[in-house]
Amino acid sequence: MQSHPPQYDQKGYVPPPQAGYGHGQVVHSQPVGGTTVVVQQPIIQGKRGWNTGVFDCCEDAGICLCGTFCGLCLVCQVATDMNESMCVACCVPAPVTVLRTKWRTQNNIEGSIMNDCLLETCCGPCAACQLAREVKTARENPSYQMR
């Protein structure tokens, strides 16, 4: 596949890609005024699902018990494991929604903010437990991204 050099405007900016540009091509970058500009973005092939379901509490009894009887502690631990402040659980509105959305985005997991919000509203402990199981799996498994 032939790669064309990027075309810069007068200020050194690369114009946005045209429709279909970059599909299946290699990522290229060009230095522009001391800054590297990515010319073609990699295309991620589809999203994956969560490794466990929302109601798969029996997958990890410890997480399930913690989520049921001390949900705030579980959310603090998950936030810490995700390199966020443990204060997220107390200071951020809808902390489970925020953490789930961050995790989904970073790990290419299907879903939506609306779905995360509904899960926290209707089944908060179950949503927190699902996220905790996922984070624990990633922490314990170097080849994370199982499903």
End-to-end CA distance of the chain: 31
Q: Are 92 and 112 in contact (CB under 8 A)?
A: no
Question: Per-residue pLDDT tens for 108-135?
Answer: 999 999 999 999 999 999 999 999 999 9
**What was the pLDDT predicted at 141?**
84
* Positive/negative CA dihedral, 100, 89, 70, 60: positive
Name residue 23's amino acid. Answer: H
Residue 21's pLDDT band (boundaries 50, 70, 90)? very low
User: Is the model's pTM score more than 0.85?
Assistant: no
